[in-house]
Amino acid sequence: MNSTLIVLTQNFPYMPGEHFFETELQYLHKDFHKIIISPVAYTSENEQREVPENAQVKPFKQSNKNFKTLAYFHRLTLLSDAQAMKWFINEYGSARQYGLPGILNLISWLGMAVKIRNQIERHYVKNNTNLSECVFYSYWLSPAAVAIGMLKEKYGEAIKGVSRAHGGDLYAYRHTPPYLPLQGKTITNLYKIYTISADGKNYLQNQHPHLIPAKLSVSRLGTVGGEQTNPQNKEEQLHIVTCSYMVDVKRLDLLIEALNRTKLNVKWTHIGNGPLWDQLNELATEKLPTNVEWEFLGFMNNAQIRTYYQQTPVDLFMNVSASEGVPVSIMEAFSCGIPVVATDVGGTSELVNDQNGKLLEKEASPEQIAEAIEAFAAMSDLEYDSASKHAYEMWDENYNAEKNYAEFSKQLVLLGGNQQHEG
């Protein structure tokens, strides 16, 4: 069977982002005869990551129009495209609840979806004699997924489309206004939506109770495990690591406030870069006392992070985000046996518990975070070893890339073979 997987990403293989898919691709390419990767919002000047030999990169054409012209183009799309106009009318009532911003958001999504739909149709659907063996996979529940849903409505069972749903593309409350256009209709038209957490699946079921339950499945992300666990820290310093993009939602400023309140001898290492680099650097310089040593290491890829954990003693990983899907950064820490303190947001509670770390309430104060840090520092060797063991076991049982991506790939292959496979 010569199954072809057509993947719609935002940027991948162009930098930045979607590092999780980089791992997943290593399993998908073993099961599909051919993989075509079409990023829809890439920057062609950015570094392009390597892909397997049987994977082709075919970026979708992007608009070079300015914002005002693009907004006009999206409105014009609605008027000139019968399917888009139909979808707009059906969704208008939901969009109107959020006033003009909601309506403009709907217009923007449909404009992008039509553009993507047209390119999929032109490149992969028309004159394709092997369409029955093609699987269309949107990595995000975004306008790309809407586009596949529109094609399914147009071509029927010939279009086999699925989408993952992560966090920002899933939870409407993370946006202003709290509205993600066409979510229910898109899910209805696709074969299946794979949420990366049970929390995400429950959210969609609650938001769209009319959906057929079989439309939604949990397919967790995963990381590659280390060949060895994190080495024992023989220093008196408690070594804390965070790993994230430096943006407001990650609340690294809250962690700085917490570290300011501890009397422990601490070393804090942050992995990752982002727009708040300078601001957080200044805040750490101003706020952190002499008993807290700190360093910002900047961006590391997955392999570099894994090597860091294998070679550098780390006592505790922390994530105090205001919102998450399921943090891959926590999976990476767990795969090396590093316990975690994290806030109870998104699907984090599916990873972190009292056996492998500490789950804090979403609005934890700096004092409560500092208390959690000090509680770990006060652990006996036996207690800490138990937390480390349970951290690794949580990863191996639930977030091992070898298990999770192999199963996910199997489901997509069966879909390409025109077989029904419920997961």
> What is the DSSP annotation of 306-350?
HHHHHHS---EEEE--S--SS-HHHHHHHHTT--EEEE--TTGGG
Q: Which pLDDT score is estimated for 326?
A: 85
pTM of structure: 0.84
**Per-residue pLDDT tens over the stretch 240-286:** 999 999 999 999 999 999 999 999 999 999 999 999 999 999 999 99
- Contact predicate 336/309, CB 8 Å: yes
**Per-residue pLDDT tens over the stretch 83-112:** 999 999 999 999 999 999 999 999 999 999
List the one residue out of 75, 40, 82, 79 whose CA is nearest residue 57: 40
Q: Give the span between the Cα atoms of 363 and 343, in whole angstroms.
A: 8
List the one residue out of 326, 376, 319 whose CA is nearest residue 346: 326
Tokens describing residue 263: 């009397």
All domains in the chain, ordered by first residue = 4-222+402-416 (3.40.50.2000), 238-399 (3.40.50.2000)
Q: Give the span between the Cα atoms of 195 and 408, in whole angstroms.
A: 12
Instruction: Report the sign of the C-alpha dihedral through residues 311, 317, 322, 324, in that order.
Output: positive
Q: Give the span between the Cα atoms of 365 and 255, in whole angstroms.
A: 9
Share of the chain above pLDDT 70, in %: 94
Q: Which pLDDT score is estimated for 127?
A: 84
Summarize the confidence of residues 204-228 as an average pLDDT: 89
From residue 221, alpha-carbon distances to 94, 205, 211, 351 in Å are 31, 20, 24, 12
**How high is the mean pLDDT of the chain?**
91
Instruction: State yes or no: pLDDT of 239 exceeds 70.
Output: yes
Q: Which pLDDT score is estimated for 69?
A: 52
Q: 196-199 long-range contacts, Cβ below 8 Å, gap at least 24?
A: 196/164, 196/165, 196/166, 196/220, 196/221, 196/325, 196/326, 196/347, 197/325, 197/326, 197/346, 197/347, 197/350, 198/347, 198/350, 199/326, 199/346, 199/347, 199/349, 199/350
- HSE of 329 in the Cβ direction (CA atoms, 13 Å)? 23
Q: Which pLDDT score is estimated for 338?
A: 96
Instruction: State yes or no: pLDDT of 174 exceeds 70.
Output: yes
Residue entry with tokens 């046996």: 337
Q: Which residues on neighbouring strands pair with residue 34, listed in sequence order?
A: 4
Summarize the confidence of residues 388-392 as an average pLDDT: 95
**What does the angle CA 335 – CA 338 – CA 342 come to, to the nearest 5 degrees?**
105
Q: Give the span between the Cα atoms of 189 and 182, in whole angstroms.
A: 11
Q: Which pLDDT score is estimated for 2?
A: 66
State in Å, rounded, how far the first CA of the chain is from the last one: 22
Instruction: State yes or no: pLDDT of 70 exceeds 60.
Output: no
Q: 216-218 and 238-243 as β-strands: parallel, antiparallel, unpaired? A: unpaired
Summarize the confidence of residues 6-24 as an average pLDDT: 92
Q: Give the span between the Cα atoms of 91 and 149, in whole angstroms.
A: 14
Q: Which pLDDT score is estimated for 234?
A: 75
Tokens describing residue 414: 């069966």
Helix (H, G, I), strand (E, B) or coil at 364: coil
Q: How confident is the model at residue 423 (pLDDT cuts 50, 70, 90)?
A: very low
